[in-house]
Amino acid sequence: MYMNQIINIDLNKHIDQSEDSTNQYTIPSKKHSYKKIFNIQFLLSIIAICIITSVFTYYKISLNHKEDFSNLLINNYSITKLYSNNTNNDANTSTLEPNSIIGIIEIPVLNLSYPIFNELTDELLKTSPCRFYGYFPSTNSTDFNLCIAGHNYDNDKFFSKIKDLNIDDKIYVYDTLDNQYTYSVIKNYEVKSDDLSPVYHTITNSFELTLVTCNNFNGNRIIIKAKIEDA
């Protein structure tokens, strides 16, 4: 009996020591796994931050290049007019190439000045505002609404800030003959993306200017309606 108790005690000690030995190896192993997982997650986070930063930087550089190119177009446009002997009325733009510059739009309160392309395409729209309906005011015009579209990059570029225009703010449009057309804002509103009524309809009995850009938050179109001022 006494011998059996001694044997049982020795066995229990051996089992306890074995368990302690197992735990000594098991616990560090778990800590090592957690540390390895943390390192992997940290590395993935760094990679993700680098990718996001690179994409954002590329976007900013690309947008600045478009802005610089648009300014270059204005300079070249001004030089071309300076040395041009063209005396024809350029109000009718139907015979011009799509990438022809038909004038300049300026909005002083937004510090905005861009050349206007003759027609609207995705590529041209990335560079500068585009005419997509109507012509400059003239006695020969049958369209009383000149519509110009521009991108909204949610910054201070292109038409991103036209939503901030107020009633009576001035918009100036110049054609290739240096004729200045002065418009006053009369309405600032939004329509659904499939609503084309602002393009083909006027709300006054006078020549109008319609500016269009996207609302990137709800998918609507931001519309600025302006009426020409009397000469």
In terms of average pLDDT, the best of 100-104, 136-140, 227-231 is 100-104
Q: Is residue 165 part of a domain?
A: yes
Question: Read out DSSP for 52-117?
Answer: HHHHHHHHHHHHHHHHHHHHHHHHHHHHHHHT----S-TT--TTS-TT-EEEEEEEGGGTEEEEEE
pLDDT in tens, 147-170: 999 988 888 888 999 999 999 999
Burial 175-206 (b: 16+ CB within 10 A, else e): bbeeeebebebbbbeebeeeeeebbeebeeee
The predicted pLDDT at position 50 comes to: 77
Dist. CA 38–CA 2, nearest whole Å: 54
Q: Is residue 59 part of a domain?
A: no
Q: Looking at the 3D structure of the chain, how many domains does it have?
A: 1
Contact between 210 and 148 (Cβ < 8 Å): yes
The predicted pLDDT at position 218 comes to: 93
Dist. CA 198–CA 220, nearest whole Å: 13
Q: Is residue 15 part of a domain?
A: no
Q: Is residue 46 part of a domain?
A: no
pLDDT in tens, 199-209: 888 888 889 99
Flag whether pLDDT at 35 surpasses 80: no
pLDDT in tens, 36-82: 777 777 777 788 787 777 666 655 555 555 555 455 444 544 434 43
Q: pTM of the full predicted structure?
A: 0.64
The predicted pLDDT at position 215 comes to: 92
Q: Is residue 66 part of a domain?
A: no
Range of the domain at 104: 86-228
User: How do beta strands 145-149 and 208-214 pair?
Assistant: parallel
Q: Is residue 40 part of a domain?
A: no
Q: Is residue 92 part of a domain?
A: yes
The predicted pLDDT at position 129 comes to: 92
Flag whether pLDDT at 193 surpasses 70: yes
Q: Is residue 36 part of a domain?
A: no
In the beta sheet, which residues pair with residue 222? Answer: 190, 213
Q: What is the CATH number of the domain that holds 114?
A: 2.40.260.10
pLDDT in tens, 99-134: 688 999 999 999 999 999 998 888 888 888 999 888
